[in-house]
Structure 1
């Protein structure tokens, strides 16, 4: 086994911000699964807006939708920025 290389770098907090964490659970039939697969951003934005949320930006992991093709229930984690310059930005996260 080779020796592991030294990990070099820096981690600097650039600001503190309040975020809200959500778990999104969607019950998918064949039609909604296809819509989600074809346009994940549009589908999720439409759902969030139907729940009364504002969506100014949505960041997703395209590979995170691979399991959608096989699942009846899809769970995903999201953090939402409720204020400040990034207000109403939604970011997919791993829970």
Structure 2
């Protein structure tokens, strides 16, 4: 049996390798630096900071009421604009989050 022989085992291996390449992709995204994905660059989150639980805003209710609720829950961090922007996305859902 030569190495180039097309055996059933070799065929199965070729199929599996092709599927694996399909799953892994072909480096479509290139080298992405995680800092390029940040919504707010240079954000420093305080060590003991916990994101408060928010009622999710989906766009069907009053946006002003949602902002008031958000500011009240984030009152301790009201002077940290970057943190406010970073956490705001978590308070949105559905069409409002797009």
Task: Identify, as 1 or 2, the structure richer in strand.
Answer: 1
Q: Give the TM-score normalised by the residue count of structure 1.
A: 0.32
Name the structure where helix makes up a greater proportion of residues: 2
**Could you tell me the TM-score, scaled by structure 2's length?**
0.31
